[in-house]
Structure formats: structure tokens, C-alpha cells
Chain A
Amino acid sequence: MSDTILVKGASLYGATTADLLLRDGVLAEVGPGLSDAGARVVDADGLVALPGLVDLHTHLREPGREDAETILTGSQAAAVGGFTAVLAMANTSPVTDTAEAAERVLDLGRAAGLVDVHPVGAVTRGLGGEELAELGLMHRSRARVTVFSDDGRCVADPRVMRRALEYVKAFGGVVSQHSQDPSLAGPTSCCHEGELSGRLGLPGWPGVAEEVIVARDVMLARHTGSRVHVAHASTAGTVEVLRWAKAQGIDVTAEVTPHHLLLTTDLLAGYDPTFKVNPPLRPQEDVDALRAALADGTIDAVATDHAPHARHDKEHAFVDAAFGMLGLETALPVVASVMVDSGLMTWTDVARVMSSTPAAIAGLEGQGRPLEVGQPANFVLVDPAAPLTVDRDASVSLSRNNPWHGRTLGASVVATFLRGVPTVLDGALV
């Protein structure tokens, strides 16, 4: 059983100050001046309380690449970042394309016990893009898989995508699409196609390779009456398509990563594979469009695409190095810098895009709930007055491919609570 904890003087959503009494995993009382009798007291003076963050998009690498990350270390990084639930992508080895594989991820997550780890199921067997994986069996398993994705690869065949969208309607599933037309942006494409790719001689990854798939998928969603989710939206053109689709009433949601909200393609000028990510970093115009779209609701959620890699997998020539960057520990500080400090969003908005909306997209019960009496005590305390200077060697992730190293970001995570139990206090794992 968890202790009774009194969190004193937190600023709920950065708006109203209140105490939170946590008992039996729920918010037993919420209000000013609560009695601390019998409770362990956590001083939250000056700290903003938000519902525990929910990440629609992580790569925890287990099973298969436990040298880069495990479900335990990924859970630790998530907790340090203020998350209470993460979705673990299916591109592990073996791929999460069966009920058994999904339950294994669920169980390892429960054993770690720091965040709720929900497996994402593969859309197609072995991420092969041809035959549907056992979507229904994964949903019927103990893991209750609801989000399906071949992430890392695009479900490129329109017929397969159509069938997947239709099939998961039976149980309220959603397909999260890695939008990359493989003919327009092949496996070596690694730099936003533009002046910089031309000068550097790097294979271009044009924005249109994403946009044509997003456009196709929203039309398929309209045709089938299904729901589609756009993973890691990265271009202004994608934002335009999403805005149009939502105006038509098409059931589409979209996420953006912290790195696409702040980092730009010019960072590739030194050929440092730390900045190699898929989709690639884009120019400032795209970054600006993504920020505006997140603020106005065209983009629904922030998701990290946390992608740990062993050091040697990044120490190749740029085109040969692995795609991806760390993100769990820095997501909230980045969003604080980019969206809150800039005045584009309030903390209530942050709670929406990093907690309640992603929880709703993934159909997670007990996550993303408001900070109200009776709700599960999943929340994070953020210090908006304590910028975070990122040191990659201070990370609890097993990997060091951290594009934020040396940067100072707008806020830091002080404490995280999962069902009333602190997983992080004073910025460190409990």
C-alpha cells in the first residue's frame, strides 16, 4: 500500500494553488490548507502540477537491443521526464506482432513499475508491409493493444493501409502511421531536401514524401470511416492537410515531437549523426508552422519518438548511422521553452497536448485525468523557474544520442507520481 502523501502548495495547471492529498492511489482531497496529519509532506511551493504525461511514441528497444535501452531504463527515463504512461513501438526484435509479444512488453513494464508501458502492435507481420499482423488477438490479449504502427516504416501499400484502418474499427483501434512514401524518400534519405542537402551532398528527404502519405491516409480514413493518427508530423504541408481534413470532419489526429518543435536542419551542417532523425529536422518555416498548429489544435499531441541507440550505431558516416534521438527526459522542458515561455500555450494547454489528449487517442483509462478528487494520483510537479541544462551523461537512459546536450531548456521536472507513489522526487528517481 502506498503512504498517504500531502503535496503542499502546488499550482494546479499553473493557475490555482492547492494542496493534494494522495491516499490509496487516488487524489483523496484537493484544496487549500489541507491537514497533514499522518501524511508525508512534499513541499510543492512554486511548482506547477500537471496530470502525468502520456507518450504516444517511444522506442524502448527491448526485446532485441537491450544494449541501447531496456524497458526498465526506458521507464526510468520516462519517469524522470514526468511521464506516467508510454506506448512502446513495435519495431523491436522480435517485432511486437503477436499477442504473446505484446504481453511480454506489458509484463516487463509492470515489473519495472515506474510508468504504465503499453505495447504498440505492428500493423503488418514483421513490419513487412504486406500481411496484417494479428491485430485482433493483440487487442484481446492482456495487453489490450489499441494503437498499431509499423513505425520506422510506412504502411506504404494503400490497400494494406485501407484494410488495417477498416479492421481495427471492430475494437476501436487506431493506426499510427509513419508517413514516408518510400519511393520519394528511400532508406538512405536522411537530410531535409533543400539547399542544405544540395550543398552537403546528402540524400534528400523531401517534405512532400510525408505530405502525400498524410493526404492519402486522411482520404482513406474518410472513405472507410476510420480513425488515423499521424506520427511525428514534420512539415508545414502536413499541417495544411491536417487542417483541411479536420475541417471536413475526418477522424484524424496528429503528434509532433519536441525536436521538430525546436531543432532545425542547419544542425546537419557538421554531419553529426546525433542530429540524424526520421523524419529529418526541417527548416525554421516548418518549425514555426508546427508550433502554430500545436497551439491551435491542428496537431493534437506532443510525442517524443524517444529513440535510443548504442554509441557505435551512431559512429558511422552520416548516411550509414542510425536514425533517432533521445527525448523522454527533455520533452517537457522543451515544450516549456518553445510553447509556454513564448506565450503560445498555457500549462493547461500543455496538460492537454502531453497528457489528456494522448491518453484519449490511445484509449488509456486512468491516465490523462484531471487533477480532481477521486481521480488516479498520476501527476508531475514542474519547476518553471528552474531551467534545465542538459548533460547527456546525467541521463538515466542507457544511450547518449542526446541532441539537447549543452542546451538550457525552460523548466525542469521535480517529481512524478504514479497512482500515488512517487517515482521521482527532487528530480531524481526514488
Chain B
Amino acid sequence: MRKHLLSIDDLSVDDVTTLFTTAAEMHDVQHRQVKKLPALRGRTIINLFFEDSTRTRSSFEIAGKWLSADTINIAAKGSSASKGESLRDTVLTIAAMGVDALVVRHPASGAALQVSQWVDASVVNAGDGTHEHPSQALLDAYTLQRRFGGPGSLAGRHVAIVGDLTHSRVFRSNVLLLTMLGAEVTVVAPPTLMPSGVGSWSREVGFATSYDLDEVLPKADAVMMLRVQRERMSGGYFPSAREYTVGYGLTRDRLRVLGPDVPICHPGPMNRGLEIAADAADAAQSAVLEQVSAGVAIRMAILYHLLAGEETP
């Protein structure tokens, strides 16, 4: 693996395989009574979050702590521009304290890449604007692969990603990773929530697009529902929550179309009743809580490989 994890494009299939192998070992640690490994003792990881986050921040924090790293959270909400300090100055100040890794969440696309160009520490992109969220994609693919039967089992599986694609970093990372692992991906959204230029992009990366969820669902081996922010209605992206749910929600009726073994994923937080019905969120086939649990294991694997090199844990 390289020094940073900024985008799924930074990873090869071998890197992903290595991460998943390590994550499986870490996953076992999660179920021990004593969860701490000494791997990153003496290393310092700062979770630098310029945007509110509960699950991603705590997931990275627990991951760092179980690896015995000193993990510190810094909330730097509000653009540094408005405070008169440049992002570069903010980041250099924190890096100067002596940091081995910066886990960066920022509301602006590209921020983690920019940060990586300014500091010596390893940088993990924990979500940059509407660009990428690579650790989320890794935990999603890892979760699905476990469901499907282990390494290599994603190949040829049909995954539907449904929702606000335009504003989703989860979609952007997932479509790259799932296609890399051989899955057939169809992304579903109304035209207003399709990213610009998705036609040529999808041909190049190798995924399909659709406006019709009911056509896609019957052939799906897994469904990934994305959060739809209610604020999007005022932007004119769709007329009403009701209309969105009728067109693109995983409703109780649509749940019946899915096979009983088809995993339902959601990166959270869920808008129950909007993009996902309670019946679907809580169904036996729902993978939502497995995703959260896998998130810690994947983030342990990421931090381990970025900071501890190629030694075995």
C-alpha cells in the first residue's frame, strides 16, 4: 500500500485482498474480551474532522485505540476560510505537534488529497465532500464478501446502488471498488440526482445506470441504499419525500421482490420511511449493523497497513 489512503484509485486488487485478510483477523479480535493489540503502540493518530460525524469518527477512534495508538479527536467544524486561517495553516499546525497519521473528514471534495501534499504524516480520507469515502467502500465490500462466501465471491454479483448519487461520496468510492472486485454495479437515481457526465464515466469504469428501481431490483444480489437529505427538495432535485419514496425507496413492497438472502446495506444515518422502510432496515437480511462492526475491523486494517508496514499483526 502507498503512504496515504485518499481514493479507491490508490489501491490495487492485491492491496484490497491484503486489507480484507487483515480485517478478518481484526474482526476476530473484536469478539475477544481483551480487544487491544500492541501493533501501533507509541504512534499518534489524529482524527481531524472539519465536518460533524459520529459513526466514522468513533469507528476510527476505536480502531486506533484497539491497536494501542494514541488517538486524538479534533473537531474543526466551520471552514477555516471563514476564520481567516488557510486550510494549509490549520493542517501544518496540527501536524507540527508530531503526528503519524491524520484521518481527515472535510466538507470539500479534494481536501484530503490537498492535505496529503502539505504534511509528512500518512493521510486517511474519512470522507471529502461529495468525492470519496474509501474506508466506507472497503467496509461495504468486505461485508458483502463475507455474506457471499469469502474472498473472490463478489465477482459476477449484481449490486444496485440507489439514491442521491450526485452528492454521495459513498457511491463514488463504492462504484470504483466493487467494479475492481468484479461485481456488476447498477446505480439508480432520478436524472436530477445522477452525477453530471455519468454516461461517459460509467462506460469507462464499467457500471450501468438506471432511472427505474423496479427494473433493477429483481436481478440484484445486493442492494445499497444511500441517504437522501431532505434539504435536496428545496434544491428542486425532487418534488416531495412521498414522490421520492414511491420512485426510489426500498419500501415494504419492494422488499418482497428481493430474495431473502439479498443483503441490504445502508451507510447510515438512515432516513427511515424515506429511502428505506423500517421493515427493510430491520429485516433479517439487513446488513446495516454488520457494516458498522466491519467498519472498525477495516479501519484497524487500514491504520495497521499504513503505519506498521508489512509486518504481520
Report Cα–Cα, A193/B195, bound state, in Å.
Answer: 10
CB-defined interface of A183-213 with B at 8 Å, one 1/0 digit per residue? 0000000000111111111101010000000
Q: Are B87 and A316 in contact (CB under 8 A)?
A: yes
Query: What is the chain B residue whose CB lies nearest that of A188?
Result: B108
In the bound complex, CA of A318 to CA of B131 (Å): 12
Give the 10 A-B CB pairs with smallest separation, nearest first: A195-B197, A271-B110, A317-B108, A198-B195, A201-B130, A201-B131, A315-B88, A201-B109, A315-B86, A198-B196
Most chain A Cβ neighbours within 10 Å, of B80, B109, B129, B195: B109
| Residues from chain A with Cβ under 8 Å of B107 in the complex | 317
| C-alpha spacing A408/B184, complex, angstroms | 45
Closest CB-CB distance, A20 to chain B, in whole Å?
48
Q: Tell me whether A200 and B109 are in contact (CB under 8 A).
A: yes
Contact residues in A for B113 (Cβ distance below 8 Å): 270-271
**Contact across chains for A271 and B89 when beta carbons are under 8 A apart:** no
List chain B residues, Cβ under 8 A from A156. none
Q: A194-B196, A197-B197, A201-B132 are in contact. Are A316 and B79 (CB under 8 A)?
A: yes
Contact residues in B for A200 (Cβ distance below 8 Å): 109-110, 131
Q: Which residues of A contact B89 (CB under 8 A)?
A: 312, 315
How far is A317 from B125 in the complex, measured between Cα atoms in Å? 14
Residues of B within 8 A of A364 (CB): none
Given A318-B110, A320-B87, A198 contacting B80 (CB threshold 8 A): no
Further contacts, 7 of them, CB under 8 A, given A198-B198, A201-B109, A271-B113: A195-B197, A201-B132, A312-B86, A317-B108, A318-B110, A319-B108, A319-B109
Question: Is the CB–CB distance between B87 and A315 below 8 Å?
Answer: yes
Most buried by B among A200, A204, A316, A317: A317
Within 8 Å CB of A206, what residues of B?
A: 196
A-B pair count, CB < 8 Å, reads 88
CB distance from B163 to the nearest CB of A (A): 15
Asked if B237 lies at the interface with its beta carbon under 8 angstroms from chain A, I say no
A411 to B: closest C-beta gap in Å:
33
Q: B80 CB to closest chain A CB, in angstroms?
A: 7
Asked if residues A316 and B201 are in contact (CB atoms below 8 Å), the reply is: no
CB neighbours of B201 from chain A (8 A): 195, 198-199
B residues contacting A by CB (< 8 A) are 79-81, 86-89, 106-111, 113-114, 128-132, 166, 169, 172, 195-201
CA distance A199 to B196 in the complex (A): 8
**Most central of B113, B197, B200 by chain A CB within 10 Å:** B197
Chain A residues with Cβ under 8 A from B132's Cβ?
A: 201
CB <8 Å contact, A317 and B106 = yes
Question: Of A193, A202, A315, A321, which contacts B109 at CB under 8 A?
Answer: A202
Q: Nearest Cβ in chain B — how far from A385, in angstroms?
A: 38
Cα A201 to Cα B201 in complex, Å, equals: 13
Distance, CA A200 to CA B111, complexed state (A): 11
Residues of the A chain whose Cβ atoms lie less than 8 Å from the Cβ of B166: 198
The 0/1 profile, CB within 8 Å of B marked 1, for residues 316-345 of chain A is 111111000000000000000000000000
Contact bitstring A271-315, B, C-beta under 8 A = 1, else 0: 100000000000000000000000000000000000000001101
Tell me how far the C-beta of B271 lies from the nearest C-beta in chain A, rounded to whole angstroms: 21
A-B contact pairs, 18 of them (CB 8 A): A194-B196, A194-B197, A196-B197, A197-B195, A197-B197, A198-B201, A201-B128, A201-B129, A271-B114, A312-B86, A315-B88, A316-B79, A317-B108, A317-B110, A317-B111, A318-B108, A319-B108, A320-B81
Contacts of B86 in A (CB 8 A): 312-313, 315-316
A198 touches B110 (CB 8 A): no
Find the A residue at minimum CB distance from B169: A201
Distance in angstroms between the alpha carbons of A202 and B132 in the assembled complex: 11
